[in-house]
């Protein structure tokens, strides 16, 4: 993955589009902070391995948080209490 500042990306836009069409991922930064990513349209259909691993890890973390949780009432009672 390559990184370009907004100004440079603007000046080299055609070149960046050509690189993306060849499979490259381009990250656009503003003051060193990533703000956008250019990827080929075909690449958006499948998440990256890193993204899948990150989502999987977060799901595991959320399941662990809820595994020992006790509601203290029935789900129906909790719903009714939330409506009050």
Entry pTM: 0.50
In three-state secondary structure terms, 31 is coil
- How far apart (Å, rounded) are the C-alpha atoms in residues 68 and 70? 7
Sequence-separated (6 or more) residues with CB below 8 Å from residue 57 = none
For residue 16, the model assigns a pLDDT of 96
- How far apart (Å, rounded) are the C-alpha atoms in residues 22 and 56? 29
CATH 3.40.1620.10 fits 2-83, yes or no: yes
Q: Tens of pLDDT along 42-62?
A: 765 677 788 889 999 999 998
Angle made by CA atoms 25, 23, 56, in degrees to the nearest 5: 60
Compute CA 27 distance to the chain's CA centroid, rounded to the nearest angstrom: 13
| Residue 47 or residue 1, greater confidence | 1
- How much is the mean pLDDT over the chain? 88
């Amino acid at each position: 993955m390559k990184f370009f500042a907004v100004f440079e990306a603007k000046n080299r836009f055609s070149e960046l589009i050509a690189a993306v069409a060849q499979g490259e991922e381009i990250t656009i930064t503003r003051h060193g902070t990533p703000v956008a990513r250019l990827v080929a349209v075909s690449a958006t259909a499948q998440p990256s391995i890193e993204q899948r691993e990150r989502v999987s890890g977060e799901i595991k973390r959320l399941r662990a948080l809820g595994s020992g949780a006790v509601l203290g009432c029935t789900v129906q009672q909790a719903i009714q209490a939330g409506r009050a």
